[in-house]
């Protein structure tokens, strides 16, 4: 390949990051036309010559991109592309899997620590200017050291959570994964996570999730949203959890049966939940989860730090180099699995 390669960037990258991408090769003709919102349809941005597109969602009118060979997504998940026509083509789709490990791994522990040490209750007391007489009783917390954490979904985020748990808090780690096959070629930041999968002391298959959660003091959901994972945590699993257990969801809302979760939190099947993802987003204003003392709600922002675009550009640059030299791309989505 010696021809110029037209690349369309639709996300809002800084000029400095675009310049870094251009230094990958003079053969890249990088043009940016930014969307106003992530999910905006980008068909109108195409001139028909694009060979590579960087975007949140590919154009639905693929007839406007007859030369398109590869789409690099700005997200790790692809559940927003259900029923997208791109799955019926041979266009390669890659994700930003791997760049979320550090920010979301840290965020998961922000939720765990906040719930374990009753920080939300302290904030409410602070707002009222109240110093309770029985503060040792009502604010007695849960220590993490020596506790068992269960990680459902052992991708890049799950592996970083495991690393922090084991080496930061001396926790016992157990994990669930879909297959025992070696992971696909994924992007991994140096020194991040558990690339060899050596940290978990015990492994569970998807049909053993009830057994997994029954062992744990904390359960973290880090699996993709697929037909197999939908409502994987329902009444049976929530009833099997320990009464002092905490549930953290930094994945997708569809993984949990909402009604069962509300009941579990109300009736004390579990002690609390930190939720960053919901079946319906934004979470409806009247939803019961808003008003629960043992719940922390965050509006799907676990990956939101000032370094997101920097990490995304570093990954894209690596994939561009691979594309130019004929090496396999990182984070290729299997069209049949769609994750």
Can you tell me the distance from the alpha carbon of 262 to that of 21, in angstroms, rounded to the nearest whole number? Answer: 46
Active site residue 281: yes
Active site residue 64: no
Cβ contacts of 16 within 8 Å, gap of 6 or more: none
Active-site residue among 60, 186, 300, 322?
300
**DSSP assignment string, 88-147:** GS--EEE--TTTTHHHHHHHHHHHHHHHHTTHHHHHHHHHHT---TTHHHHT-----TT-
Residue (of 222, 272, 322) closest to 119 by Cα position: 272
Can you tell me the distance from the alpha carbon of 242 to that of 100, in angstroms, rounded to the nearest whole number? Answer: 29
Can you tell me the distance from the alpha carbon of 282 to that of 87, in angstroms, rounded to the nearest whole number? Answer: 27
Name beta bridge partners: 149. 173, 218
Active-site residue among 124, 143, 281, 321?
281
Active site residue 318: no
Q: Which residue has the tokens 């509300």?
A: 262
For 96-109, b/e burial (b = at least 16 CB within 10 A) is bbbbbbbbbbebbb
Active-site residue among 74, 100, 172, 252?
252
Kindly report the backbone phi and psi dihedral angles of residue 247, in degrees, each rounded to the nearest multiple of 5, phi listed first: -115, 130
Can you tell me the distance from the alpha carbon of 250 to that of 280, in angstroms, rounded to the nearest whole number? Answer: 15
Q: Which residues are part of the catalytic machinery?
A: 252, 281, 300
């Amino acid at each position: 390949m010696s021809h110029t390669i037209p690349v369309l960037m639709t996300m809002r990258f800084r000029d400095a990051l675009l310049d870094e991408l251009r230094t990958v090769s003079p053969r890249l003709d990088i043009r940016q036309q930014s969307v106003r919102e992530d999910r905006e349809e980008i068909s109108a941005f195409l001139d028909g010559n694009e060979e590579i597109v960087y975007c949140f969602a590919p154009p639905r009118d693929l007839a406007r991109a007859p030369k398109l060979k590869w789409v690099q997504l700005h997200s790790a998940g692809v559940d927003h592309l259900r029923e997208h026509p791109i799955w019926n083509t041979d266009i390669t789709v890659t994700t930003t899997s791997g760049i979320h490990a550090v920010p979301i791994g840290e965020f998961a522990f922000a939720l765990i620590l906040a719930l374990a040490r009753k920080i939300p209750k302290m904030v409410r007391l602070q707002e009222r200017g109240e110093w309770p007489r029985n503060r040792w009783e009502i604010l007695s917390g849960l220590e993490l050291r020596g506790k068992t954490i269960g990680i459902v979904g052992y991708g890049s985020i799950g592996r970083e959570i495991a690393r922090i748990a084991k080496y930061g808090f001396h926790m016992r780690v157990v994990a669930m994964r879909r297959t025992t096959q070696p992971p696909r070629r994924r992007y991994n930041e140096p020194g991040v996570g558990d690339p060899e999968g050596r940290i978990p002391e015990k492994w569970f298959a998807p049909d053993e999730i009830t057994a997994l959660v029954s062992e744990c003091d904390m359960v973290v959901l880090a699996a993709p949203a697929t037909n197999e994972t939908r409502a994987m945590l329902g009444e049976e699993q929530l009833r099997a959890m320990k009464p002092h257990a905490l549930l953290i969801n930094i994945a997708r809302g569809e993984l949990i049966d909402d009604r069962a979760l509300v009941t579990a939190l109300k009736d004390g099947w579990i002690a609390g939940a930190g939720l960053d993802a919901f079946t319906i987003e934004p979470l409806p204003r009247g939803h019961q989860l808003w008003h629960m003392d043992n719940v922390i709600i965050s509006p799907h922002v676990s990956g939101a730090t000032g370094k997101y675009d920097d990490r995304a550009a570093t990954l894209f640059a690596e994939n561009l180099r691979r594309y130019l030299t004929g090496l396999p791309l990182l984070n290729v989505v299997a069209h049949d699995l769609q994750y």
